[in-house]
Amino acid sequence: MRHWIVTVVLGFSTLAGPAGAFDNDYHLVLNGFSQEVHASDGYFGVLGTSARTISWWYRSHDQSFPTTWGIVHWGQSWTVQLQNVEDGILYVEASGNAGGTKFGWSILRNPAIPSLQDGQWHHLVVTAPDSGTMEDVRFYLNGSEVPVVSVAGGTLTNAYDTPSDNPVVSVFRVGTRALGNHADADMDEIALWDAELDAAAVAEIFNGGVPTDLEVNGASYANAGDLQLYWRFEEGSGLETADTAGNGHDGDLIGGDTVASWGTNPPGSGADSDGDGILDGFDNCVDDANPGQEDADSDQVGDACDEYPDDPDNEQAQCEVDLDQCLLIPPFVDSDQDGEDDSTDSCLDTPEAETVDGNGCSIDQFCSVISAADRTGSRTCKKADWHNDEPLMRGRERDCTINKQGRGRDDDLCVPNPES
């Protein structure tokens, strides 16, 4: 599991985005067993084959993946859910002309996805074009696209066509599937468009980890007029939230509490230590300014602070990403300074400047551990191959030989062959 460390400070960052910083003081708190939010006017969401984009900020309460958590649902059906499959997966399940299709993005198959259950805020966006197929659906995590890696039902060539057959289960909602499977998480800034946002627009509204006003267009984001629903959860109390897009699709907090359903640590409340416009919790180089977040080897350590920018598996680089994993890597200790770690060194007292084999033993040490006191030992000594680099032929001597110490074998020694 990769961990992000976020330092909470008083006030909020003032990063520039589509509309700059704006008031963001509260967020929705879901209890995991009864609470969800419905469109109070029975709004079904974007239906049929129309283009669509759903965006939300998410922070888990439980660090393990659930059996199933519904995150967003509308129609019959367009569902986004989390499941305990492949170390954790985000599924989109959609109805289509050729039946339903369930496809997703998993941690196991795509290491670019940090755990969504790490207790930190994440920005998630799912987009689909007008009259497209499941293959056209895109998922963005924290401003960057993540490719589909798992298809659990149907095929990606199926076209989506979201109906609204049942007014009870088709109403737009968050925090659950159609019925049950409640999420135990925080959510904020939920927005639905009847348009497909492109990658540049998604990156802009991510804004380095600070939500921005989606009712105002920016440099790449030009879809304020396409907003169909926008729940900001800025009320701070009560059981209703306003649709600030102005379409009347206000939300009712079902099964919630007038106080406990609201939190005061929303996304964007964090530090930007290097002043590059990326909050520390999302910055791949916290202490080195790199607004572009370049990462040549895709190891989640930015090039600006990666001593091994072309080596995604370098242990030192990974320590910057995953402290838990780093702590599992034992420190390199070489007591006799022969270049072999003590944990794998069979000869911990090799004299300085001696050449050693793969086990950390000099030729003297290698030969001396072989017994020459009996016939078997004598044979073993003469066939010994110090570097394991020369095949034995007819049993002739290799690296070690017998040094006779008397008439018997009891005191004979196995020593380096002078010719080796």
pLDDT digits (tens, 9 = 90+) for 64-105: 777 888 999 998 889 999 888 777 788 898 876 556 788 888
Eight-class DSSP state of 123? E
* 3-class DSSP state of 368: helix
- Closest by CA position to 190, among listed 203, 175, 208, 177: 175
pLDDT of res. 417: 84
* 3-class DSSP state of 344: helix
In sequence order, the 6+-apart residues with CB closer than 8 A to the CB of 362 are 347, 350, 351, 354, 355, 356
Cα–Cα distances in Å, from 307 out to 102, 233, 310? 40, 42, 9
Answer with the residue of higher pLDDT: 106 or 127.
127
Strand 185-193 with 173-174, pairing: unpaired
pLDDT digits (tens, 9 = 90+) for 260-304: 899 999 998 778 888 888 888 788 888 899 988 888 876 678 888
Q: What CATH architecture is 27-263?
A: Sandwich (2.60)
pLDDT digits (tens, 9 = 90+) for 342-360: 888 889 999 988 889 888 9
Q: Do 402 and 412 form a contact (C-beta atoms < 8 A)?
A: yes
Answer with the residue of higher pLDDT: 390 or 99.
390
- Closest by CA position to 128, among listed 187, 201, 61, 54: 54
Q: How confident is the model at residue 10 (pLDDT cuts 50, 70, 90)?
A: very low
Q: Residue ranges per domain, the chain?
A: 27-263
Residue % of the chain over a pLDDT of 70: 85
